[in-house]
Structure 1
Amino acid sequence: MTAVDFRKITLVVLLQLWAATSLRNSGWLKILTVSYFFGSFLNHNLFLAIHELSHNLAFSTPVYNRWLGIFANLPIGVPMSVTFQKYHLEHHRYQGVDGIDMDIPSQTEANVVTSVLAKSVWVISQLFFYALRPLFLNPKPPGIWEFTNLVIQLTLDATMVYFWGWKSLAYLILSTFVGGGMHPMAGHFISEHYVFKPDQETYSYYGPFNLVTWCVGYHNEHHDFPRIPGNKLYKVKEIAPEYYESFKSYRSWSQVIYMYIMDQTVGPYSRMKRKVSTVKKDK
């Protein structure tokens, strides 16, 4: 067993499901407020736990990590754990390769999202872009594990609606999408690879939110050593500071969102891209 503790994941899952059932008779304003200021942090924590599990950092046996990822997926409301792993591992293997790395915004996004208003809407909706972009640009046939993820997730969703009503399920889904939009936690989507400094492709964040995001902020370190659990990556920086201290880094994800929206020279196109012809894709 490594540093990704299934007990912590279980605690967050149960706490979020408890919150969802407790809000079953609440007004929509209260549900939205609790989603933004509470549930979003829990679901984002689970999303980044799934990120760790996609690298098999909880168990030495990969299938156990996959099952735990499906379990961590439950409060997120929509099935994504198994599919995320497929695309995320390609992001590591083919970082920046246009047409393969689905972390790269599409050309349509780059052409349309140029103004402050458009970038604000894009930030609010960025989880939709992350979810839909692969379906159009690099679709993959689903397998038995995607089907398993889907059935288990729909079973949980249907159970929530049957016993506690639509508001409980709405709370879970709202917690996912408001937490992935104009939210301090969501700043990591932009901070990790959007180029604010010429010639630097990946950026780390050394702020306090690492405590609740499985240290995803140590992103240069993570790409160098993807098999090291997030909460151990600080040791990489301590052991080899000469490789990391010269890089630009962040202390605030909120500041990154602000810079992204307000800086007219930055947008979805602000990514280092490589042509697919320059990389030999695995068969």
Structure 2
Amino acid sequence: MGGEKKEEEGVMASDFFWSYTDEPHASRRRQILSHYPQIKDLFGPDPWAFLKITVVVSLQLWTATSLQNAGWLKILTVAYFFGSFLNHNLFLAIHELSHNLAFSTPVYNRWLGIFANLPIGVPMSVTFQKYHLEHHRFQGVDGIDMDIPSHTEAHIVKNVLAKSIWVIFQLFFYALRPLFLNPKPPGVWEFTNLVIQLSLDYAMVYFWGWKSFAYMILSTFLGGGMHPMAGHFISEHYIFNPDQETYSYYGPLNLLTWSVGYHNEHHDFPRIAGSKLYKVKEIAPEYYEGFKSYRSWSQVIYMYVMDRTVGPFSRMKRKASKTAKKDE
């Protein structure tokens, strides 16, 4: 891998891991395809994506309206134990759509992403695609990959309490980090996403009241913080093993998260829909069986918070001049 970092045993590092080689997925993709060209048959959209997204959006909006007169304790409970799973599912549906994996025509994926965004309450679908595709093309590249924490985050988040707070509020860091470190001018699609989302939010408050709207926001916030599904944010690229940059999760929550847990497989083949990623591992097991993987995202969160050697600096970085890969 070429990673390098100096740290004392038992002490949190003061710098990122640095790699002096290109990210590993493009070269592994070429190797796998040379041995198993039939994997190309898996490329393409998921024909059930539109239906799955429509069901979740409808269910979450119905739940929000049904809670218009509920007490706050009930709203909070339903938001954490039910709505959070639905909104995080939609967040990962938007991740799927950012790779055009619902329709062959890109613009249809963008419209569906704006639709999937509705119960989340905050417009993010269009902007997410811009930054996420850069995460694939320039994985770990300093100043470009906004999936990596900033130096400010890394210097502040130094102990168990700080890491716990960071995990609870990690969605805010993901949302605000690009605006400060790598801002991009908004365009027509961002404006469209904003107008449609604010129109839904206004309608929710006007017809059903603030409690229904608050339920949606709480579902988003709780589902992205100290929550089992949010463990994927940490498990995907935070380095617990210095010899590995990307990690997969093979637990049951893949059923609710568009199989984003198959993350090595996803980065190797971003043109394969989540519903088919397990087949990559079945076809080419020798390329994945040697990697460390996880069975519990909750355990990953616990490990991250409690391990005093792991923190926001536990990410791989590389210089921009070393990377110029294409997102296939």
TM-score normalized by structure 2?
0.84
> Identity rate of aligned residues, in percent?
85
**Bigger radius of gyration:** 2
1:103 Cα offset (Å): 0.1
**Which ranges in structure 2 are unaligned for 5 or more consecutive residues?**
1-44
* Residue of structure 1 equivalent to 2:89: 45
Aligned match of 1:168: 212
Matched, 1:153 2:153: no
Q: What secondary structure sits across from 1:25 in the alignment?
A: coil
What does residue range 25-174 of structure 1 map to in structure 2 within 5 Å? 25-174=69-218
Which residue type is aligned with residue 156 of structure 2? V
User: Separation in 1 of the partners of 2:129 and 2:295?
Assistant: 28
Report deviation, 1:2: 2.8
Alignment-derived partner of residue 221 in structure 2: 177
Number of equivalences: 282
TM-score by length of 1: 0.98
Alignment-derived partner of residue 206 in structure 1: 250
Q: Which residue of 2 aligns with 1:22?
A: 66
Instruction: State how far apart, in whole Å, the 2-side matches of 1:110 and 1:138 are.
Output: 17
Aligned match for 2:281, one of 237, 246, 255:
237
Report the Cα offset of residue 3 of structure 1. 4.0
Partner Cα separation in structure 2 for residue 108 and residue 3 of structure 1: 42
Q: CA RMSD in A?
A: 1.2
- Cα contact 1:97–1:274 (8 A) shared by 2: yes
**In structure 2, distance between residues paired with 1:281 and 1:155:** 39
**Deviation of 1:26 (Å):** 1.1
Once the two structures are superposed, residues 233-276 of structure 1 have per-residue CA deviations (whole angstroms, 9 ceiling, x without a partner) of 11000010000010000000000000000000000000001123
Distance 1:26 1:60, change over 3 A: same
Deviation at 1:8, TM superposition (A): 1.0
Separation in 2 of the partners of 1:279 and 1:218? 23
* CA drift at 1:277: 3.8
Q: Of the two structures, which has the highest relative contact order with CA contacts closer than 8 Å and spacing of 6 or more? A: 2
Asked if the contact 1:3/1:229 (under 8 Å) is kept, the reply is no
Residues 137 and 324, structure 2, Cα contact 8 Å, conserved in 1:
no
Structure 1 window deviating more from structure 2 (67-76 vs 26-35): it is: 26-35
Contact 1:120/1:261 (CA < 8 Å) preserved in 2?
Answer: yes
Letter in 1 for 2:53: I
Moved over 4 A (4+): none
- Aligned-partner SS, 1:242: helix
In structure 2, the residue corresponding to 1:189 is in which secondary structure?
A: helix
Q: Which runs of 5+ in 1 are unaligned?
A: none
Q: Would you say the 8 A contact 1:35–1:171 is kept in 2?
A: yes
